[in-house]
Amino acid sequence: MPMAVIRQFLRRLINLWRKELQVILKDPANRVVLIVPVLVQSTLFGYAATYDLSDVPYAVLDQSGGEASTRLTAKFDHSGIFHRIATLRSPEQIGDIIDSGQALLVIQFASDFEARLNAGEQASLQLILDGRNSNTAGSAAGYIATMVADYNQENGLRHAPLNVEPRVWYNPNLITRWALVPGLIAALSMLQTLMLTALSVAREREHGTFDQLLVTPYSPLEIMLGKAVPPILIGIGQATLILLLALFWFRIPMAGSLLDLYVGLTLFTVACVGLGLSISSIALNMQQAMLYTFVLIMPLMLLSGLATPIRNMPYPMQIVTLANPLRFGIDAVQRIYLEGAGLSSIVHDLIPLSIIAAITLPLAAWLFRHRLT
């Protein structure tokens, strides 16, 4: 008996999923809207968008401990752009602080730094940059080079100047699209997923088929699940399109696992679907649903960290971003794609996405049942 009930439950859900997919995909115009904007937007963003520099967290590894390295580090600290978050004790600490995203760059002074300057020889400081944020890292390296040139001039180091040797991790050539396009895998798929789910119930009400749905044997939970799964599949499909574009058009090498990437994308899409279903449950018609969605999309994009680093935002805004699934989706995708991080390394992204999904999906179910009654 329980197996028969489960089979009947699954059969009803499959019928709902088939019906939702047919509504979405049967119109040729809808199929074009689901594919062409994703390709166009990801291409435009990949070629046109850049990052700005206003706040650079950095760490110092001073193996020299001399006066010159201390003065130069103080110059960075008082620049108004760079702020030191850590003073490292060994080269082994560099990888951890870059991988975690705490520091955009690490400045390393070699043990013979002071001795070479005092001997009138050329001395180098090494920059280790996080290429996942390519434009900001490149701008930061430029600022460092300018400040080092000023230091040379102030101290009369003309014949044996201090020079900078940068090393960039994860994006050796500091190509902006290498950092941007992987983030679009989450961002652009969210736009369509949120819109589809927001319009799903509102479309039923506007077309007069919602009342017909109510007299069927489906429970509110089954109807909500039937509305949720097709947008998840479409969102994953659109993310796959952008992934293929990144791999084969922009030729951005992927360092991580496809399985890890799709696990993160699936959890992110579920969180977005919960948000969209909540919108759909309170909207009386498609016009309201579209209005609510457009009002919500812009703050989600601006507070995601895609266009501007979250650390550069005012602190209250940084708190608000904790409720934004796109912030964690973009970070998870970029770390898996560029860094090769595994799921254990992006737990700090997966847990907030799980919490957002655990809040929005029950909220959508409650709103759905409330509207039914």
Distance CA 32, CA 27 (A): 9
> What is the rounded average pLDDT for all residues in the chain?
80
pLDDT of residue 195: 83
Residue recorded with tokens 């679009």: 184
Residue among 309, 310, 335, 306 nearest 321 (CA)? 310
pLDDT of residue 50: 43
The confidence band for 159, taking pLDDT boundaries of 50, 70 and 90, is low
Q: Are 368 and 220 spatial neighbours (Cβ–Cβ below 8 Å)?
A: yes
pLDDT of residue 226: 79
| Highest mean pLDDT: which range of 178-182, 199-203, 254-258, 281-285 | 254-258
Question: Residue 83: pLDDT above 80?
Answer: yes
| Comparison of pLDDT for 60 and 210, the residue scoring more | 60
Question: Residue 257: pLDDT above 80?
Answer: yes
pLDDT of residue 139: 77
Domain at 56-169: CATH architecture: 3-Layer(aba) Sandwich (3.40)
Give the residue-averaged pLDDT of 352-368: 87
Which residue intervals of the chain bear CATH 3.40.1710.10? 56-169
Give the residue-averaged pLDDT of 208-219: 66
φ, ψ dihedrals at 31, nearest 5°: -65, -40
| Comparison of pLDDT for 40 and 315, the residue scoring more | 315
Residue among 142, 144, 152 nearest 76 (CA)? 144
Give the residue-averaged pLDDT of 158-170: 62
The confidence band for 133, taking pLDDT boundaries of 50, 70 and 90, is low
For 238-255, the pLDDT digits (tens) are: 899 999 988 998 888 898
